[in-house]
Amino acid sequence: MEYRDDRMFVMRLSADFSVDADGSVSINGKYFNLRSRDQAVALVTYRNVRQLTAVRVDQFDNMDAAEDYIKKVEPTCPRLSSGHRSPDPIPSWEEHLKWLHANGLRSVLEGDNPLPDWAV
């Protein structure tokens, strides 16, 4: 499997989503479009391969809850350079951001959207 960069997973936030009766989540729209921090948001986690296979969808009542979760989880993302394991020790949020920026990457909280324009 060919990964797009050192991260094994990437995330995308959406404030434009719906939940069907069967519990499936439909993500609409290309941009995040958060109108209020009190608005519900969905966070989609993808395997960081060309096909961007969705592996998980989490829903949050508001952006503060999503941000707390992201700051806790994003630094633990397994890396190819770490043998497909999380970094050890797990970096702080600030250290994680420095690593991302040093590698020309951004956090989902900085607007990273892994989907190409044609996919949304």
pLDDT, mean of residues 14-36: 80
pLDDT, mean of residues 36-41: 90
Q: What is the pLDDT of residue 57?
A: 93
Beta-carbon contacts of residue 63 (< 8 Å; ≥ 6 apart)? 34, 37, 38, 39, 41
Of the listed ranges 22-36, 46-60, 62-76, 90-104, the one predicted with least confidence = 22-36
Cα 77 from chain centre: 10
Q: Where are the domains of the chain?
A: 9-119
5 pLDDT band, cuts 50/70/90, is very high
pLDDT, mean of residues 93-102: 98
pTM, two decimal places: 0.89
Q: Is the pLDDT reported for residue 32 higher than 90?
A: no
